[in-house]
């Protein structure tokens, strides 16, 4: 029963990360669509009255690792954003 939730999470995580890899829209629109694709399975389960904490956990357990792996491996933007945030933190600590 929970395997289909895990599979849905994997599919949604991959779809939302690949959306960013192949579509270049303004950042606010991109982020909104990206989040909607990522959360689509949870929203569908909520409206079908099938959402529970356990199913949400399985969904996120499937979606998040795949999503982050695509960001790191294919898109390469998370490593860049982490580097940028460290640089900004260093500048903010200067007198």
Greatest alpha-carbon pair distance for the chain in Å reads 57
pLDDT digits (tens, 9 = 90+) for 43-60: 988 999 988 999 998 988
pLDDT digits (tens, 9 = 90+) for 4-41: 888 888 888 888 888 877 776 666 777 788 788 888 88
What angle do the packed helices 2-22 and 53-70 form, to 10 degrees? Answer: 30
Give the pTM.
0.69
């Amino acid at each position: 029963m929970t395997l289909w939730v895990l599979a849905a999470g994997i599919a949604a995580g991959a779809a939302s990360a690949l959306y960013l890899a192949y579509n270049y829209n303004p950042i606010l629109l991109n982020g909104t669509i990206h989040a909607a694709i990522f959360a689509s399975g949870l929203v569908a389960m909520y409206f079908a009255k099938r959402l529970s904490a356990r199913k949400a956990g399985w969904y996120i357990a499937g979606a998040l690792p795949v999503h982050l792996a695509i960001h790191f491996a294919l898109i390469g933007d998370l490593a860049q954003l982490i580097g940028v945030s460290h640089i900004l933190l260093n500048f903010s600590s200067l007198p």
